[in-house]
Amino acid sequence: MKVTFKNMLQGYVGKADGMIYYLNKRTGKVYARRQFKFEKHSGHTPFRQAQKQIYLIKPAAEYKYNLYDYCLSYNELPQNQEQQVFSWCHIYNKLMWAMQKAMPAQVDLKTITREQIYEQNLPCKTLKAAIEVGLLPMVDGYQRWDKEI
């Protein structure tokens, strides 16, 4: 939730009264959320394993730049004005999890490797292919993002 202060504490960040306050440098707004506490549940371990594995692929710098460039175009879409993304990591996560959801028989994020991506010619190989398959929303000029993972 957005926070407004009555007594000029515009730059306040930190923890107080069970809330976490942080400043978004891009928007210049202060946000607050409840302090969370991790609880053990059955979905935590598989999610953690999948997240570790997709970052062990280590995407190339050009691929990361394509993802970052896509962020800028993604944020310009009217439906994304309220939920903008600012990091290539966010788009990378969206892409990988969408791919697993679309192709559950072929893709298991807990065991995915770079070799598997090339052998099976998975759509995450290039950002252009992922957009054409429908894993991410289509934006103008997506054809230029053809660098491989």
Give the rounded percent of residues in the chain with a pLDDT score beyond 70. Answer: 92
The CA distance from 107 to 102, in Å, is 9
∠ CA 52-58-60, nearest 5°, is 155
The tens digit of pLDDT for each residue in 106-127 reads 888 999 999 999 999 999 899 9
- Residue 13: its pLDDT value, please? 75
- Residue 11: its pLDDT value, please? 63
Q: How confident is the model at residue 7 (pLDDT cuts 50, 70, 90)?
A: low
Segments making up each domain of the chain, as ranges: 2-34, 44-144
Q: How large is the average pLDDT for residues 22-44?
A: 81
- Intra-chain end-to-end CA distance of the chain, in Å: 36
Q: State phi, psi for 110 to the nearest 5 degrees.
A: -70, -20
Selection from 32-41, 79-88, 129-138 with the highest mean pLDDT: 129-138
- Residue 78: its pLDDT value, please? 86
| Per-residue burial over 46-69, b = 16 or more CB atoms within 10 Å of its CB, e = otherwise | eeeebeebbeebebeeebbebbbb
Q: 0.85 exceeded by the pTM?
A: no
- Give the SS3 label for residue 29: strand
The CA distance from 117 to 92, in Å, is 14
The tens digit of pLDDT for each residue in 81-92 reads 778 888 899 999
| Per-residue burial over 98-120, b = 16 or more CB atoms within 10 Å of its CB, e = otherwise | bbbeeeeeebebeebeeeebeee
